[in-house]
Amino acid sequence: MNSILQYIPLNYYVALAAILFAIGVMGVLFRRNAIIIFMCIELMLNAVNMLLTAFSTFHGDESGQVMVFFIMAVAAAEVAVGLAILVMIYNNIRTVDIDELNKLKG
Amino acid sequence: MMVQFAWLIPLLPLLGFIIVGVLNKRLNVAMSGGIATAAVFISFIISALIFGEVAQEGSVPERVVLFDWISSGNLSIPFSFLIDRLSVIMLMVVTGVGTLIHLYSIGYMSHEQDHPRFFSYLNLFVFFMLLLVLGSNYIVMFVGWEGVGLCSYLLIGFWFKNIEYSNAAKKAFIMNRIGDLGLLLGVFLMYMTFGSVNFSEVFSAASNLPQNNTAVTAICLLLFVGAMGKSAQIPLYTWLPDAMAGPTPVSALIHAATMVTAGIYMVVRSNVLYALSPDASSIVAFVGIATAFFAATIGLKQNDIKKVLAYSTVSQLGYMFVALGVGAYQTALFHVITHAFFKALLFLGAGSVIHAMSGEQDIRRMGALKKALPITHLTFLIGTLAIAGLPPFAGFFSKDEILAKVWMYSPIMFVILAITSVLTAVYMFRLYWLTFYGEFRGSEHQKSHLHESPATMTIPLIVLAVLSAVGGFIGMPELFHAPHFLNEFLAPIIFKSSHEEASHTFEIMLMSVSVVLLAVIMYATYSYYVTKKVKPEEDSEELDSFAKLLANKYYVDEVYTTLITNPLDKLAAFVYKYIDQGLIDGTVNGTGTALNNVSGQLRKIQTGHIGAYVFAMVIGIITILVLTMII
C-alpha cells in the first residue's frame, strides 16, 4: 500500500466527488445570491481536486497532485477577481441578487 | 497619295463634337458653329482631293486598315475603310451638304441658348455617317448605322423639355432599332453563309453562286428590313413625319440628305447580292412603289410646311427603292444625289420661311411671302421645280431615268409611278403657291417681323439652288448624245448592269409628256389656289371622308397604337406589377423581412438572466461529454 488512503476503495472517492460536484452544480443553477454561487463553484473545484488526488494515489502517478496545485492557484485568483467585481456591483445596486443583474437583456 | 489621309475625314467631325461639347457654355454661337462648320468643311476638302484621285482612270479600290478590331478564332473584322468610287461620291454628298447645313445652322440657331449641344450633336452625326459610308465591312457600317440613329434621336429631341418632341425622338429611335434587328440577322446569316462580313470577300464569294439561292434571298430581305427602318419605307415610315419636331437644319441634314439615304447606300453597296436574287429585288420594288404612292397621297392634305416635305421625302425614298428593285443601282444613286440637293434646299428654305414668320409652320397662315423673302422665294421655286421634274433642273433627269428603267421592267409599275409623279408636282406646287402667293393670312405681329434671312442662311440656299439647277447634268440620257458621267463613274462597282435601254422614241415621248403635264399642273394649281383663292380647311371645319382619311394620314399611327403599342404597354404593366414588383421585389424584400423576424426571435435567447446563461453552459458541457462518449 502506498498510503493509508488506499484502504478505502476508489469507487467511494469517485462517488463522493460526483455527489459534491452535483451539489455544486445545483447550487450554481438554483441559488440567487452571488456569493453562494461563488462558494458552489469552489465546491465543484474542490470535488475535482479530491478526485485528482485519489487517482494520483491509486495509480502512483504524482502528476495528479501537481495538477491539484495548479487548480488551487487558479481558484484563488478567480475568487479574488470575482469577489472584487461583486463588491463593485454591491456598491452600485446595493444587492447581490443575480436576478437584478439583467441590464444585458436582448 | 491622299487616300492615306482618309482616316482624317471622320476624325475631324469627331474632334469637333468633343471640342464643342466640352467647351459648351464658354462658346458663343459664332464660335461653336464656326468650329463645327470648319471641321466638316476641311473633311469636305480632303474628300474632294480623294475624289480627284479616285476619279482617274484605272484606279482600284483601296482599303485603309486603321486597327485590328475583332479577331477571335476564324472571325477577323478589322476596323478599315474602303475608298472606292461609291464611297467617294457619298463622301462628297455628306460632307458637302453637311457643310452647307452647318453654315445655315449658325444663322438659324443664333437665338438658341443651347447651341453648343446642337453643333456638337451635328458633328457627331456627320462622324457616324462618314463611318457608315467609309466602312469596308458590314460591321463598321453597322457602327455608323447605329450611331446615326442615336444622333437622330438626340437631335429630334433637341428641345427635350417638350414631351411631344421627346416622344417623337423615342419613336424614331425605336423604329430604327426594329429595322436594325433585321439588318443584324442578315449580317449573321451572311457570316454563316460566306464566312466573312467584309465587302470584298462576300461579294466575290457571292458572284460564284447561282441565281435565286435561298440564303442570298434571305440575306437580301433581312438587310432590306434594316433599310425599311432607316429609310422610312412601309411599314416603318411613321417616325419620319413626327421627326419634324426637331430643328429644321436637322430635318434637312438627317431626314433629307444623309441618314435616310443610308438604306439606299447599303443596297447599292450590296448590289451583287440583290442582282443574284430577283425575288428579293421585286419585293424591294414593290415596297418602294407602294410607299411612293401612299406617301404622295398623304402629302396632298398636310398643312404644316415641314410635314408636306417629310411625306415628300418618304415618297422620293420610295422612288429610289423602286429603282433599286428594278436593278438600276446607278439611277437610284443619281436620285439620291439630286434629292439631297433639292430636298435639303427645300427644307432649308422652309426653315427660312419659319424663321421669318416667327416660328409659324402652318401654310394656312402664310401667303404673299414672295416680296418679303426674295432670295428664299427664288431658291424655293428652284427646289420645287427640281422635285416636280422640270428640265433642265436636277430632278428631271434622275426621275426620268427611273421612270424609263421601270417601264422596261413592268408597265403597271410605270403607270403607278407616273401617277405618283403627278401627285408630287401637285402637292409641291400647292405648297409653293399657298406659301408665297395670294394674300397674307398671318397675324399683324408676324407681318411686322417679316424679314429676309441673314447671309449665313441665304448663302447655303443659293449654293444648293445652283446645285439643284445643274446637278442633273452628271447623268444625261443617251439620246442627248452626252456622256452619262455618273453611270460610267460607278460602273466598276456594279455587278451586272442591265443592258436594256428604253428606245429613243419612248424617251422623247416620256420627256415631252412629263414637261407638258407639269405645265398643266402648274397652271391648274395656280388657278385653284391663287386665282380662286382656295384655302385648305381649318382644323375646325369638317372634311369629306376621303379628304379626312388623307389628312389623318390613313390613321396608320392610330392602328399601330392599337395593335402594337397598347398591348405591349399592357404586357409591360403586367410584368412590372407581378414579376418585377411581386416576384423579384418580393423575394428580395421578403428575404430581408424573414431575416428580421428570425433574428427577432433569436435575440430572445439573451434574457440577461445569469441563471439562464449558466444553465446553458451546463447543458452544453453535458452534450459534449455525451457526444465524446458516443463517438
**pLDDT, tens digit, 9 for 90 and up, residues B150-159:** 999 999 999 9
What is the DSSP code (8-state) at residue B232? T
Chain B residues touching A101 at Cβ < 8 A: 608, 610
Q: Which of B604, B610, B611 is opposite residue A106, by nearest beta carbon?
A: B604
Q: What would you measure as the largest C-alpha separation in chain B, in angstroms? A: 118
Question: B452: left (phi > 0), else alpha (psi -120 to 50), else beta?
Answer: beta
Q: What Cα–Cα distance (Å) separates residue B501 from each residue in B401, B409, B497?
A: 10, 11, 11
Determine whether the interchain pair A99/B609 forms a contact, defined as Cβ–Cβ distance below 8 Å. Answer: yes
Distance of CA B44 to the CA centre of its chain: 21
Contacts of B604 in chain A (CB under 8 A): 106
Output the pLDDT for position B482.
66
Interface pTM, i.e. ipTM: 0.84
- Residues in B touching A25 (Cβ below 8 Å): 618
The pLDDT of residue B318: 92
> Distance of CA B186 to CAs B44, B87, B181, B349, Å?
32, 22, 9, 39
The chain B residue lying nearest A97, using CA atoms, is B610
Residues in contact with B230: Cβ distance below 8 Å, sequence separation at least 6, in sequence order: B145, B148, B149, B176, B179, B180, B259, B260, B262, B263
CB atoms A29 and B606 under 8 Å = no
Closest CA to B147 of B128, B132, B134, B133: B128
Which residue is closest to A41 within chain B, CA to CA? B614
Interface test with A, best of B614, B617, B621 (most A CBs within 10 A): B614
Residue B606: what pLDDT? 82
Chain A residues 58-87 within an 8 A CB cutoff of chain B: none
Q: What is the CATH number of domain A4-95?
A: 1.10.287.3510
Give A32 to chain B, closest Cα distance, Å: 8
Instruction: State the number of CA atoms in the 13 A half-sphere of B31 facing the CB.
Output: 10
Alpha carbon distances (Å) from B477 to A83, B151, B158, B419: 119, 38, 43, 22
Q: Nearest chain A Cα to B621, which residue?
A: A25
Side chain identity at B79, as an amino acid letter? F
Tally of CB atoms within 10 A around B520: 12
Q: Tell me A97's DSSP state.
A: B
Tell me whether B601 touches chain A (CB under 8 Å): no
Q: Which of B604, B609, B618 lies closest to A102 in CB terms?
A: B609
pLDDT of residue B498: 59
By the CB < 8 Å criterion, does A102 face chain B? yes
H helices present in B326-393, as ranges: 329-356, 374-388
How near does any CA of chain B get to the CA of A3, in Å? 32
Instruction: List Cβ neighbours of B240 (8 Å cut-off, separation of 6 or more).
Output: B172, B232, B255, B260, B310, B313, B314
B605 contacts in chain A (CB < 8 Å): 106
Mutate which of B602, B605, B609, B619 to test chain A, going by most A C-beta atoms within 10 A?
B609
DSSP B162: S
**Cβ B607–A98 below 8 Å, yes or no?**
no
DSSP state of B538: P
Q: How far is CA A29 from CA A24, A25, A32, A38, A76, in A?
A: 9, 6, 8, 11, 22
| Facing residue for B608 by CB, picked from A29, A30, A103 | A103
Separation in Å, CA of B631 to nearest CA in chain A: 23
Question: Which of A29, A103, A104 is the closest to B611 by Cβ?
Answer: A29
Nearest-Cα distance to chain A for B583, in Å, is 34
- Closest-CA distance, B610 to chain A, in angstroms, reads 7
B614 touches chain A (CB under 8 A): yes
Q: Does B611 touch chain A (CB under 8 A)?
A: yes
Half-sphere exposure of B438 (CA within 13 A, CB side): 27
For residue B568, the distance in angstroms to the closest alpha carbon of chain A comes to 52
Report the SS3 class of residue B207: coil
Dist. CA B180–CA B224, nearest whole Å: 10
C-alpha cell at B341: 440637293
- Residues 6 or more apart whose CB falls under 8 angstroms from that of B263 comprise B226, B227, B228, B229, B230, B231, B233, B317, B321
Contact flag B609-A98 (C-beta cutoff 8 Å): yes
Considering only CB atoms, B610 lies closest to which of A30, A98, A106, namely A98
Residue of A33, A35, A38, A99 to mutate, testing the B interface (most B Cβ within 10 Å of its Cβ):
A99
Identify the residue among B605, B606, B610 best suited for mutation to test binding to A, counting A beta carbons within 10 A and taking the highest.
B610
Q: Name the residue facing A29 among B606, B607, B618 (closest C-beta).
A: B618
- Identify the pLDDT of residue B530: 77
Q: Does A36 touch chain B (CB under 8 A)?
A: no
The number of helices, as runs of H, and strands, as runs of E, in chain B is 27, 2
Rounded Cα gap, residues A62 and A47, in angstroms: 18
Q: Which residues from B are below 8 Å from A103, CB to CB?
A: 608
Cα(A71)–Cα(B379) distance, rounded to whole angstroms? Answer: 113
Q: Is B600 on the interface with A (CB under 8 A)?
A: no
Stretches in chain B below the pLDDT threshold 50: none
Task: Give CA–CA dist B465/B342, Å, rounded.
Answer: 7
Q: Do A105 and B607 touch (CB under 8 A)?
A: yes
Q: Give the gap in angstroms from C-alpha B606 to the nearest C-alpha of chain A.
A: 5
Mean pLDDT value of segment A19-38: 93
Return left, alpha or beta for B590; rule: phi > 0 is left, psi -120 to 50 is alpha, else beta: alpha
Task: Flag if A98 and B611 touch (Cβ within 8 Å).
Answer: yes
- Name, in order, each residue with C-beta under 8 angstroms of B573's C-beta and a sequence gap of 6 or more: none
Nearest-CA residue of chain B relative to A25?
B618
* Per-residue pLDDT tens digits for A32-86: 999 999 999 999 999 999 999 999 999 989 999 999 999 999 999 999 999 999 9
Closest CB to A106: pick one of B603, B611, B614.
Answer: B603
